[in-house]
Amino acid sequence: MQTRELGIAGAWELTPRQFGDERGTFLEWFKEPELTGLTGHPMALAQANCSVSAAGVLRGVHYADVPPGQAKHVTCVAGAVLDVVVDLRVGSPTFGRWDSVLLDDVDRRAVYLSEGLGHAFLSLQDGSTVVYLCSQGYAPEREHGVHPLDPELGIDWPRTGRDGRELTLTLSGKDEQAPTLAQARAAGALPRSEAVREFTEGLRAAAGRPRR
């Protein structure tokens, strides 16, 4: 498996080796030893989610309070999505910045994002199926969002799908009502970089790994 750290600390692109023949394809999309080597601690597995989206469906930007936050390991098993990671950690050198990875059923990449980071994706074709592992289960009182079309974030969402047709962006009612980055920060709703660092250092200490 090849790994590449994204432009935001705590997020990685993971590209598996694929083994194919006339019967089909085999790959390992999650490998705990490799991930632990990147993060310094094992990923707790509390929940696995599956999301199927029509072309143009935009989900996010979602994040959870830290502690305990919610780390995610995300891949697209059918179709294609633009997967986006946003640094929502107040005090981080890259606060407010984003990076993206194309996840599809060709290269079959995955993205891992640590606690405190925001996550969103845009479906580029009908039936795009995203599956992701979560370090914490669903807890609505701890989960929040930032509007994915906030001009301050300036995320460059594609306007055409995988087939070249124009996309009509579709958001849930909850995501439509999400605050901007500035509003969420003013309300004290965003994770603080120091709290995230203390939490992840605690995970590494529990795993017997040195601080970074």
pLDDT tens-digit profile of 84-109? 999 999 999 999 999 999 999 999 99
Count Cβ neighbours within 10 Å for each residue of 77-111 and write b for 16 or more, e otherwise: eebbbbbbbbbbbbebebbbebbbbbbbeeebbbb
- Domain of 188 in residue numbering reads as 2-19+26-205
- Res 212: pLDDT: 53
Structural domain includes residue 126 = yes
- Res 84: pLDDT: 98
Catalytic residue among 73, 119, 132, 147: 132
Joined together, the tokens standing for residue 203 give: 């995970």
pLDDT at 28 over 90: yes
The CATH number given to whatever domain includes residue 128 is: 2.60.120.10
Q: Tell me the CA distances in angstroms from 140 to 62, 120, 137, 185, 188, one per residue in order.
A: 11, 17, 10, 19, 17
Structural domain includes residue 211 = no
| Mean pLDDT of all residues in 171-197 | 98
- Res 205: pLDDT: 94
For the question of whether the overall pTM of this predicted structure is more than 0.75, the answer is yes
Structural domain includes residue 112 = yes
Nearest of 192, 212, 210, 178 to residue 67 by alpha carbon:
192
Structural domain includes residue 77 = yes
Structural domain includes residue 110 = yes
Structural domain includes residue 158 = yes
Active site residue 132: yes
Instruction: Report whether the peptide linkage leading into residue 61 is cis, meaning its omega lies within 30 degrees of zero.
Output: yes
pLDDT at 156 over 70: yes
- Res 211: pLDDT: 53
d(CA 7, CA 126): 29
Q: How confident is the model at residue 208 (pLDDT cuts 50, 70, 90)?
A: confident
pLDDT at 133 over 90: yes
pLDDT tens-digit profile of 189-203? 999 999 999 999 999
| Mean pLDDT of all residues in 153-171 | 97
| Mean pLDDT of all residues in 141-169 | 97
Structural domain includes residue 210 = no
For the chain, the DSSP string reads -EEEE-SSTTEEEEE--EEEETTEEEE----HHHHHHHHSSPPP--EEEEEEE-TTBEEEEEEE-TTT---EEEEEEESEEEEEEEE--BT-TTTT-EEEEEEETTT--EEEE-TTEEEEEEE-STTEEEEEEESS---GGGEEE--TT-TTT-----SB-TTSPBP--B--HHHHTPPPHHHHHHTT-SPBHHHHHHHHHHHHHHTTPPP-
Count: domains in the chain: 1
- Res 209: pLDDT: 65
- Res 22: pLDDT: 96
